[in-house]
Amino acid sequence: QLQASGGGLVQAGGSLRLSCAASRRTFGSFVMGWFRQPPGKDLEFVAAIKWIGGMTDHTDSVSGRFSIFRDNAKNTVYLQMDNLKPDDTAVYFCAAKYGELKTRTTDYTSWGQGTLVTVSS
């Protein structure tokens, strides 16, 4: 089970940090990712991280602004979002899978509830 938190209202240029805690101990080839669904649009990939080794991937639109990292002891993955833009407004979801790092929503088998991020201009 995944529990996401940290959303809120922020002005453009501001920062937020989202958290996603896994209720069970992670092991092996565990991958956690963040996706988002802007208003009226489809769910899209934001970033993902492999638990072992820490390899990451992220979509181009957040390059240089968002970073994903994990805390092994807390079984928690974070999405640090800096220099937020109005286009970043969305419901953000964390998700998990085993195996290789992937970016498609259909590759992920476990999903947390969404947390709303609203960026005002």
pLDDT, tens digit, 9 for 90 and up, residues 59-105: 999 999 999 999 988 889 999 999 999 999 999 999 999 999 999 99
Tokens of 8: 């809120």
Residue 53's pLDDT band, with cuts at 50, 70 and 90, is: confident
